[in-house]
Structure 1
Amino acid sequence: MMKTGMISRTAVVLAVMLAVAGCSSAMTRKTESVEGARIERQAVIDGIKPGETTRQMVIDAFGPPTSVNSDDGSEKIIYEFKEKKVPVYFGVVENEAARTETSATLEVIFKGDIVSSFRYRASEK
């Protein structure tokens, strides 16, 4: 008789532990869309040195640019990255109100073939 009570108590404790563990890992983030290649801040800092870095070095490091503009003898290449994620609970319930959008833009200006300046912006909403 004592054995049955002990087994029931153990089963209840085990069920509660599994339920708590399941709740803690039930939320994941599903990627809805990705545009462009990810641009890491440290790669920009380490890889671009005005007056030293060439156009080819930038393209080797970051790939083909999203767009290219020429004006007044200088050239500007732009890299853009956008990613949208939405929380998903238990694999089926999506929370659109908690959607996150991550974006990064890198603009590099060249005089001739050498970087004259660059600007990097990143945000997460």
Structure 2
Amino acid sequence: MAERIRHNIEQHSFDLGNGKFIHNTCSLGIAPIPFSKNKNNNITWQQSLNIADIALYAAKTHGRNAWVELCFNPLNDNDISYNELIDKIQEHIDKQNLLLTTSITDRQVTISLN
């Protein structure tokens, strides 16, 4: 769905009136709500939105006109607190506790909160 949205915006000609048109692109950050199917995990919808925002900035940092999704690995959906997740987000991606999927194919996407 994210790729369809990204592609459709990229292909659309926006009418500004007076015979003026522009083309635009977008970047998307995605995180599920609820963030985890684990009933012991208490990540709120606001925290999930913050994770989507982190994913959005990763898309922008790595070239824009892209989407990045962060979600728990359903095969390893453990009881990681929000603070632990945020404090060590790249480590959780590297350990595959978190899955990072993206439309960016020409380079490795990393998450930096600095």
TM-score, normalization: structure 1? 0.25
More strand as a share of residues: 1
Name which one, 1 or 2, has greater alpha-carbon Rg.
1
TM-score, normalization: structure 2? 0.26
